[in-house]
Structure 1
Amino acid sequence: MRVMVLVKATKDSEAGLKPSAELTELFEAMGRFNEELINAGILLAGDGLKPSSEGKRVAFDGPSRTVIDGPFAETRELVAGFWLWEVKDMAEALEWVKRCPNPMPGPSEIEIRPIYELADFGDIVTPELAERENELRARISGQ
């Protein structure tokens, strides 16, 4: 089972990184945690995200596209970083998140979301669609 693990943004993360001893300790702790994930064969990808002030959103309405510049207002709804994990089940993902160092200097949250697999869509996935999806995934992993 693949899951996306989302580190929720805080006022501090939205303000941008400011070098400090606390930040150095946080980076070291997260580095050790990431190494544990790699050694366990769980970590597929992960990174931190710059503040939303450096981001953009694209709003869709039929054929119309509207670009919205950051920053975005609801900090608690934003994402400051992510991991992509391969785990046995949600219980295993939850146990790993509980072991994670606090990803922010103050209070923070991490959200775990399962990723759709082709099997989740049942009969609407034809053999041709499944083959195409598998080809695309193979190309991605070969990059």
Structure 2
Amino acid sequence: MKFMLIMRAVDQAAVDAFEAADFEKIIADMGAYNESMVNAGVMADGAGLSDASEGAVVDFSEDDPVVTDGPYGELRELFNGFWMVEVSSQEEAIEWAKRAPLGTGSQIEVRRVNGPEDFPQDNEWIQKEQEWIAEGKLAGS
């Protein structure tokens, strides 16, 4: 099963602590964490995200989508990075999340990623997606 581990800072103190921390140590700690997942054969992908001020939200609550440039939303609504892990259970994904080198005021949300098996196999678009995956047409595949 594939899970997304979604990293968040839930308060300004966590953001301030991150900004005050030794960046080389952060990179080394994250690198070691990532390497442990790679060596265990569970890490499928992962990335940190740029500051929310560089992002945008496309809101579909109107007939014409409305774009709002960041920063946007409350701090706890934003996520700062993610890992995709391929593990046998949610419990295993949680165990990996608990090992992340994050400090007080940080959270990791653990969410299962739907796979083709979660959808009707006779659906034309599900079949096309499987073909795209098999043909390597999807980015990152």
- Calculate the TM-score normalised by the size of structure 1: 0.82
- Compute the displacement of 1:22 (Å): 2.4
How far apart in 2 are the matches of 1:131 and 1:113? 24
Query: 1:9 maps to which residue?
Result: 9
Query: 1:118 maps to which residue?
Result: 116
- Compute the displacement of 1:12 (Å): 6.6
How far apart in 1 are the matches of 2:91 and 2:131? 30
Structure 2 counterpart of 1:132, one-letter code? K
Instruction: Report 1:1-143 matches (<5 A).
Output: 1-10=1-10, 11=12, 18=19, 22-61=22-61, 63-102=63-102, 104=103, 106-121=104-119, 124-126=120-122, 128-138=124-134, 139-140=137-138
How far apart in 2 are the matches of 1:13 and 1:56? 23
Structure 2 counterpart of 1:79, one-letter code? F
What root-mean-square deviation, in Å, do the aligned CA atoms of Structure 1 and Structure 2 show? 2.4
Structure 2 residue runs without a partner (length 5+): none
How far apart in 2 are the matches of 1:113 and 1:8? 13
How far apart in 1 are the matches of 2:31 and 2:93? 18
The alpha-carbon distance between structure 1 residues 14 and 32, as it changes in their structure 2 partners (threshold 3 A), is same
- Calculate the TM-score normalised by the size of structure 2: 0.83
The alignment partner of 1:131 has SS state of helix
Structure 2 counterpart of 1:136, one-letter code? W
Structure 1 counterpart of 2:88, one-letter code? K
Query: Is contact 2:14-2:106 (8 Å) kept?
Result: no
The alignment partner of 2:118 has SS state of helix
Q: Deviations over 1:23-72 (max 9, x none)?
A: 22121011001001111111111111111111001111464111111101
Runs of 4+ in 1 over 6 A off after TM superposition: 12-15
Q: Deviations over 1:63-115 (max 9, x none)?
A: 4111111101310111000011111110110111112211x5x4211111001
